[in-house]
Amino acid sequence: MLGKIGLEEHFALEKTVEDSRLGVKDSFWPAFRERLLDFHKIRIEEMDKQGIEMMILSFNAPAVQAVLDVEKAIELAKYANDTLAEQIAKNPKRFAGFAALPMQDPDAAAAELHRCVKDYGFKGAFVNGFTQLHIEDSCYYYDLPQYWPFWAEVQKLDVPFYLHPRPPLKSQRRIYEGHEWLLNSPWGFSVETGTHALRLMGSGLFDEYPNLNIIVGHMGELLPANIWRTDHRLNYVPQETRFKRPFSEYLSKNFYVTTSGNYRMAPLLAAIMEMGSDRIMFATEWPFGVLNEAATWLDSVDISETERLKIGRLNAVKLFKLDL
């Protein structure tokens, strides 16, 4: 289909591009690096070949989230967002943007999101997992109380928040010892991000802010396939809980998933059955994913043309209020 809109499409700056080298073979790195730094040449050529009308661009990982100094994190986020806004202005029909945020300081993150949405027309936030602060072995997840005023601003702005993976800290990798190949996209990303999403649900966040919309990639980071069991077993948890509704209800009302890097019928069906096709959107994971693989799969997967159009385009147009 033509007119596809991609939602997990990365770019990097010279000062952050090496953050993305983890897990990339040395023989692939020169071409991979070129693609991360490119906006208007290779990227546009590939989009045209695969019927992708627009990409909503996001800063590479972990970038801002791994900066230990607050002021440096704020500075990097602003620089990345200013750079992205400049590039979008050169071709606004093909690109839109997600804001990188310095979650080290929740107030600064809220202010930066407000600036990017109001001044640049960015379509939401894109944050690379947990945030480190002051010391290397630190890990802040966004269900913590200090982030709730930030979430109030997200709901007020009425924009989505894309929760993207990053690898767990070295101190939290014992289960991967001797099997480090599992750490990142093959498995660890989904465990890390899916658990982070469950923390948000379990904190009562969506009871306090019921209009929040969180996006997770990779066909839901294992959540659609496992959410029934999570709900079922929570019925037997002895301690008092802070959430008021079943997790499956939060998933279907406060979450969207994208197809990034998970091009298979079984997980797609799980997402459709658990959340509905109105909550699924197309993404290619460029340049970590291959555009023709993502696009060809969506074009040929055995779903109705109505569902294909919604997943490939219409759901994004509606959620991000795109004027296309």
Decide if 324 is inside a domain: no
Nearest to 232 by CA among 242, 253, 254, 247: 247
- The enclosing domain of 311 has a CATH number of 3.20.20.140
Decide if 286 is inside a domain: yes
Decide if 13 is inside a domain: yes
Q: How many domains does the chain have?
A: 1
Q: 23 pLDDT exceeds 80?
A: no
CB proximity list for 92: less than 8 A, separation 6 or greater: none
Calculate Rg over the CA atoms of the chain. Answer: 19
pLDDT tens digits, one per residue of 120-175? 999 999 999 999 999 999 999 999 999 999 999 999 999 999 999 999 999 999 99
Mean of the pLDDT values across residues 105-120? 98
Its domain, for residue 216, covers 4-319
281 phi, psi to nearest 5 deg: -135, 155
Count Cβ neighbours within 10 Å for each residue of 147-160 and write b for 16 or more, e otherwise: bbebbebbbebebb
Q: 25 pLDDT exceeds 90?
A: no
Decide if 8 is inside a domain: yes
Decide if 154 is inside a domain: yes
What confidence score (pLDDT) does residue 180 get?
A: 93
Q: Are 11 and 321 in contact (CB under 8 A)?
A: no
pLDDT tens digits, one per residue of 269-309? 999 999 999 999 999 999 998 899 999 999 999 999 999 99
What confidence score (pLDDT) does residue 281 get?
A: 98
Decide if 139 is inside a domain: yes
Decide if 12 is inside a domain: yes
Helix (H, G, I), strand (E, B) or coil at 164: strand
Nearest to 264 by CA among 256, 272, 276: 272
